[in-house]
Amino acid sequence: MPQLRRLIALLAAFPLLSRALPATKYVETTPLPLVIWHGLGDSYQADGIMEVAQLAEEVNPGTYVYIIHLDDSDNGDRQATFFGNVTEQITQVCEQLASEPILSTAPAVNALGFSQGGQFLRAFVEKCNFPQVHNLVTMGSQHNGIFKFQSCDSSGDWVCRGAEALLRFGRWSDFVQSRLVPAQYFRDSNEYDSYLKHSNFLADINNEREEKNEAYKSNLLSLNRFGMFMFANDTVAVPKESAWFAEVNQLSGEITTLRERSLYTEDWLGLRALDEQGKLDFETIPGQHMELTDKLLTDVFTEYFGPVEVPDDVAALPPSLVKQGM
């Protein structure tokens, strides 16, 4: 009987307890800020990138769009897509985004990476992730590297031609690996030992070396969604399946999907955990590399970058508590 009386008293107290705990109120806000990183040969002031930013604002009114740049000048930013130390560039972007007032005070941001900008944004998430990224979308990005370098569009493009000349110097040399951007995500499974030993960027950010960086995995696991888009007829980013972290043997053409790789089964980066939680999306885009239509982008912006709901007292909560309001 004493136990029964205590149980009755406890149940009677429940309404009082619920009234004592304030209910969390959610209010719809403007969309989270959107960070964009462009690809090789592009610049932050290019017409195409500016049109993408404008469309993002039109699809989700109130979106603050920030375009990453490695130089204030248009030419300098484009040149930095070919030449520079990628690891140092990521550090520069970490400092750039953290010092931007609107981004650094937002509850979280969304991120969109085109081509090489996609794996660079993933590196940002893994290495620093402040401001914290909510949804990450990459388009035609070389997450598992390339085994063929992109040809220059014009014989008069001296920046691109200079990059080609450096490649002939030797892709695994320390000189090239610290200066030529595409070489730093070159990965040929038939030269795997050389890649592991000399890769300045990709081998590290993919946690492929024996010593794993647990922070990379922890930070990537904080994503709400990771959308990976592959161009169906991509002949520029080779192999195209790299956009889905697949491995392709250059000699045999054999494809090893992400889910068949140790990267996934041993979960070096948290991709398996994201996949099992339904947060990892494998999407296909029709056409050639970076052939994007307004309709496609509109669908992506609606699906991944729409308005969110946050608690009234958002300042007291970490970005991980932001919930998608779609």
pLDDT tens for 265-302 read 999 999 999 999 999 999 999 999 999 999 999 999 99
Task: Say which of 115, 141, 199, 242 is annotated catalytic.
Answer: 115
C-beta separation of 115 from 141 below 8 A: yes
Q: Identify which has the larger pLDDT, 90 or 5.
A: 90
pLDDT at 150 over 80: no
| pLDDT of res. 313 | 52
Which residue has 């960070």 as its token pair?
A: 35
| pLDDT of res. 323 | 33
Q: Which of 136-150, 164-178, 260-274 has the highest mean pLDDT?
A: 260-274
Task: Say which of 42, 77, 204, 234 is annotated catalytic.
Answer: 234
pLDDT at 86 over 60: yes
Instruction: Specify burial of residue 325 (Cβ count, 10 A radius: 0-12, 13-18, 19+).
Output: middle
How far apart are the C-alpha atoms of 252 and 240, rounded to whole Å?
16
32-324, CATH topology level: Rossmann fold (3.40.50)
The question of whether 218 is a catalytic residue gets the answer no
- Taking only Cα atoms into account, the Rg of the chain, rounded to an integer number of angstroms, comes to 22
Position 40 confidence tier, pLDDT thresholds 50, 70, 90: very high
The question of whether 234 is a catalytic residue gets the answer yes
For 186, the token pair is 């070159």
Position 308 confidence tier, pLDDT thresholds 50, 70, 90: confident
CA-closest candidate to residue 307, choices 60, 134, 27, 36? 60
pLDDT in tens, 194-252: 999 999 999 999 999 999 999 999 999 999 999 999 999 999 999 999 999 999 998 88
